[in-house]
A and B are shown apart, each in its own frame.
Chain A
Amino acid sequence: MSLAVHETHSQGNPGQEHRDRENDGPGNPRDAAVPLLELRDISKEFPGVKALDNVAFPVWPGEVHMLLGENGAGKSSLMKVLCGAYRADSGEFYYKGERAVIASAADAQRLGIAVIFQEFSLVPHLDIAQNIFLGREPRGLIPGTIDRRRILRDARKVLDSIGFDINPSIKVDRLGVAQQQMVEIAKAISQNARILVMDEPTAALSDRETELLFALIARLKADGVAIIYISHRLAEVFAIGDRITVLRDGRRIGEVRPADATPDQLVRMMVGRNIDLSYPRNFAKQPGKVLLEVRGLAAASGISGIDIVVRQGEIVGLCGLIGSGRSELARAIFGADTITAGDVIFDGQRMTDGPDQAARRGIALIPENRKSEGLALLRSAGDNLVVAALRKLFPTGLFEPPRAFATANDLIQRLRIATPNARQPVGLLSGGNQQKIVIGKWLAAGAKLFIFDEPTRGIDVGAKSEIFALIDRLVADGAAALMISSEQAEICHVCDRAYVMREGRIAGELSRHELTEENIVRLGMHHA
């Protein structure tokens, strides 16, 4: 099998390579063989994360360039750099062969780059025409006024050009998602966009709407517009992509043409992130009794038909792409979202009420946003550690500081929380120690099931290992854990089993020996 995969070589000296390229020199700007936009060695770093690491690829006029990658591969950062929301730390852009700077939204607009975000940039209570021409309204006779007839006529023209038959004086808040997306595209086209960046444009569309979008994309292509299309759906990648760039860990892994690639090959390119896997995990010989059973669960948040089981002594992974319903499932189990069908049975009892009941019976939800949802940052480590256990520690309702202090100190020692003392405000502690405090808080309250939402987000490598050791000890002592994570390597390493979600449902379950990154990605994505 001959595959046209061009693996990028790791660049020992990006500066050197960069100079070499300049010597080659960009071609004649009018030459048709020049890409519309070329990214060269674009890097963007955030504290602790290299979001983009020397990413380079050309975008040709009239092509649909698919960007593929897992959560956190760098797609969003790349998009933000392209639209001028972030400024690249290093690297260069060439527009039609000439060096260009993208330092602001205005720069991007001048180059004809328009980004269609998933969260639309439309104003709900203005009409379609006003939204398309926001900031560029045709002036009326009286200064400051808008030429209403012209704005409607111009809008009509733009909408016609993309084949969207709708009255431009309809307010945007009356439109469905697909129609709003069309308005966004119309807005971009009206600004003479030549490069459209679309972020999972079909995520909220029906099949029929998707077809219409693809027809529009074909039309734009024919006009020479380049489309950078970010997708998680492999079927789409093969249906409309002309070229596929795969990103992983902020790096460009390679570029393939759909005709030369197979879904399996793309999955292999996407997985295999470089993660330190020296986490301790003592797998139980045999799982204990069923602690959590979810039967036919559906919730108003969009999940449905969920059947899962978690036993004592197990760490069960919950995988899937962002937006697949993982966090929604966690919230539904915890009683934080309205359940529309099915049962949550915990420790043999059916859950009937909200988070208060869940917490009292022993379910702990350790949220992804530790700082805003898990902790009171200005309060001390001790206060945070006892806050969930107040009812248990002080049944009379009277707070006794010595007892709270003793409990907190005990936890600080047991969980090896690195804090000078229990009075230290948690905002001053490291991410790893903050996470331990959130866990300790629920431990004090007597939790038996710990639901983790991205437990290692923003935690450095050493602390991660400690967090996993802690979770391992928890389950060894008879608790159980349900762990949501986008870090598939971590899931594979520490979980007994995993469920993979897709579009609000369980797409499949993977046993310990089936648990590989490729299998997770395969189940989590749309296949051809």
Chain B
Amino acid sequence: MRESAAASPLRSIPGVAVMLALLVGIFGTIAPGFLSLANISNVLLQSTILTLLALPMTLIIMTEGLDLSMGAVVTLTSLMVAIVSLATGSMLLGLAAAIAVGTAFGVLNGWLVAVAGIPPFVATLGTLGMAQGLCLIVSDGQSVVGIPRAVRDIYSATLAGLPVPVVVALIAYAAFHVLLYHTRFGTYIFALGGNREALRYAGLSPARWLMGVYTIGGLMAGIAGLLMTARMNAGHPTAGLGLEFDAIAAVAVGGTSFERGNGWLFGTVLGVIAVGVLRNGLNLLALPSSLQVASVGFLVIVALFLDGLRSRS
């Protein structure tokens, strides 16, 4: 068994915190208006949807898995919110439909990975395609507009002085924190990635718990769908394009390891904010959005590179 490298002062500060501080420092200096209260709250507000996805993605990655379908499933659930609320006039029915569809995809992903034994990359790539196809079918390739005001208001309303999406993200974080660190399920998530045999020896069924992890991912994609529709005030057939990439990036930047079941939930939140700050900063500098995608990729590589350097030192 490999001994972990000796702790050095450098290792005690999480890499993601250093990176976030650097990003804030750089954009605070060169990007006009970056440090204004309005901009900062805008960054946080825009990070909420990604938070809802990156939290379950952390759990999935801890099990040495991956969910590539998340962005497409969010697009689909967002369309469900738009279509169902438009048809029924009820936001709650829209949300219920979104959660049902999202959870169904989560169960499907979980079944494919845990029971059918298909590698997560392939299984969720397949469901990504299915979700994308369904998006085009239900929307006919058109945006769904004219949805009830109640849906849009979710995004701008406040609760106890905080925007509702931020409140939702905070509740989600609290729930995931309890789930991962204080429940049996959370304990088994560590074991799914760290030593699946140990679960089997303990008389537990790894497949069952693994299915649960992917199901939670689908459920969260359903909730994120509501915020997505509210934010756009419409359902767009490409709304969630590339969100899975940002979610995986946030988890990786946040210090969750892709092997041995080592995850850090708060790191993921910092990772989400780092991604948000990077995109916002480049936006303020009026750089084209294509460069934003490239820069998130670059951020991931830098984060993993630094991580590799630190764990070797």
- Shortest Cβ distance from A114 into B: residue: B201
User: Are A144 and B201 in contact, with the CB atoms below 8 A?
Assistant: no
User: Are A136 and B202 in contact, with the CB atoms below 8 A?
Assistant: yes
User: Are B183 and A123 in contact, with the CB atoms below 8 A?
Assistant: no
**A173/B187 contact (C-beta < 8 A), A123-B194, A124-B261 known:** no
Convert B193-211 into 0s and 1s, putting 1 for each residue whose CB lies closer than 8 angstroms to a CB of A: 0110111111110000000
**A145/B182 contact (C-beta < 8 A), A105-B203, A122-B198, A123-B194 known:** yes
Q: In the complex, which of the residues B3, B4, B187 contacts A134, with contact meaning CB atoms closer than 8 Å?
A: B187
State which residues 147-191 of B face A: CB under 8 Å: 178, 182-185, 187, 190-191
Within the complex, the shortest CB–CB distance from B254 to chain A, in Å, comes to: 15
User: Are B262 and A146 in contact, with the CB atoms below 8 A?
Assistant: no
**A123/B191 contact (C-beta < 8 A), A144-B183, A174-B4 known:** yes
**A123/B201 contact (C-beta < 8 A), A145-B178, A146-B187 known:** no
| Of A124, A140, A146, A173, most B-chain CB atoms within 10 Å | A124
State which residues 382-415 of A face B: CB under 8 Å: none
Convert A100-140 into 0s and 1s, putting 1 for each residue whose CB lies closer than 8 angstroms to a CB of B: 00000110010000000000111111100011001111001
User: Are A121 and B197 in contact, with the CB atoms below 8 A?
Assistant: yes
User: Are B1 and A180 in contact, with the CB atoms below 8 A?
Assistant: yes
State which residues 213-267 of B face A: CB under 8 Å: 260-263
User: Are A121 and B198 in contact, with the CB atoms below 8 A?
Assistant: yes
A25 at the interface (CB under 8 A from B): no
| Of A145, A176, A177, most B-chain CB atoms within 10 Å | A145
State which residues 170-197 of A face B: CB under 8 Å: 173-174, 176-177, 180
Bound CA–CA A174/B262 (angstroms): 13
**Across the interface, which residues of B come within 8 angstroms of A145, CB to CB?**
178, 182-184
- Tally of contact residues, B, Cβ under 8 A: 25
- Shortest Cβ distance from B195 into A: residue: A123
Bound CA–CA A252/B261 (angstroms): 42
Bound CA–CA A55/B35 (angstroms): 76
**A125/B262 contact (C-beta < 8 A), A135-B199, A174-B4, A180-B1 known:** yes
State which residues 70-128 of A face B: CB under 8 Å: 105-106, 109, 120-126
| Of A123, A148, A204, most B-chain CB atoms within 10 Å | A123
**Across the interface, which residues of B come within 8 angstroms of A148, CB to CB?**
182
Q: In the complex, which of the residues A105, A109, A124 contacts B195, with contact meaning CB atoms closer than 8 Å?
A: A124
Which size bracket describes the interface of A in this complex? 20 to 34
Within the complex, the shortest CB–CB distance from B138 to chain A, in Å, comes to: 35
User: Are B3 and A144 in contact, with the CB atoms below 8 A?
Assistant: no
**Across the interface, which residues of A come within 8 angstroms of B260, CB to CB?**
124-125
User: Are A124 and B199 in contact, with the CB atoms below 8 A?
Assistant: no
Convert B1-36 into 0s and 1s, putting 1 for each residue whose CB lies closer than 8 angstroms to a CB of A: 101100000000000000000000000000000000
Bound CA–CA A124/B197 (angstroms): 12
- Shortest Cβ distance from B260 into A: residue: A124
Q: In the complex, which of the residues B178, B183, B203, B262 contacts A124, with contact meaning CB atoms closer than 8 Å?
A: B262
User: Are B203 and A135 in contact, with the CB atoms below 8 A?
Assistant: yes
User: Are B183 and A134 in contact, with the CB atoms below 8 A?
Assistant: no
- Shortest Cβ distance from B192 into A: residue: A123
Within the complex, the shortest CB–CB distance from B271 to chain A, in Å, comes to: 18
- Shortest Cβ distance from B2 into A: residue: A173
**Across the interface, which residues of B come within 8 angstroms of A123, CB to CB?**
190-191, 194-195, 198, 261
**Across the interface, which residues of A come within 8 angstroms of B184, CB to CB?**
137, 144-146
| Of A121, A122, A134, A144, most B-chain CB atoms within 10 Å | A134
Convert A157-176 into 0s and 1s, putting 1 for each residue whose CB lies closer than 8 angstroms to a CB of B: 00000000000000001101
**Across the interface, which residues of B come within 8 angstroms of A120, CB to CB?**
1
**Across the interface, which residues of A come within 8 angstroms of B263, CB to CB?**
125
- Shortest Cβ distance from A177 into B: residue: B1
**Across the interface, which residues of A come within 8 angstroms of B201, CB to CB?**
105, 121
Convert A275-314 into 0s and 1s, putting 1 for each residue whose CB lies closer than 8 angstroms to a CB of B: 0000000000000000000000000000000000000000
Within the complex, the shortest CB–CB distance from A109 to chain B, in Å, comes to: 7
| Of A120, A126, A137, most B-chain CB atoms within 10 Å | A126
**Across the interface, which residues of B come within 8 angstroms of A174, CB to CB?**
4
Within the complex, the shortest CB–CB distance from B115 to chain A, in Å, comes to: 20
**A125/B197 contact (C-beta < 8 A), A145-B183, A174-B4 known:** no
Within the complex, the shortest CB–CB distance from B96 to chain A, in Å, comes to: 23
Within the complex, the shortest CB–CB distance from B114 to chain A, in Å, comes to: 17
User: Are B3 and A106 in contact, with the CB atoms below 8 A?
Assistant: no
Q: A122-B195, A180-B1 are in contact. List 14 more A-B contacts (CB 8 A).
A: A121-B198, A123-B195, A124-B261, A125-B194, A126-B187, A126-B191, A130-B190, A134-B187, A134-B191, A135-B199, A135-B202, A137-B184, A145-B184, A173-B262
Sorted nearest first, the 3 A-B pairs with minimum C-beta distance are A135-B202, A123-B194, A123-B191
Cross-chain pairs A/B with CB under 8 angstroms, 8 sampled: A120-B1, A123-B194, A124-B261, A135-B199, A135-B202, A135-B203, A146-B182, A180-B1
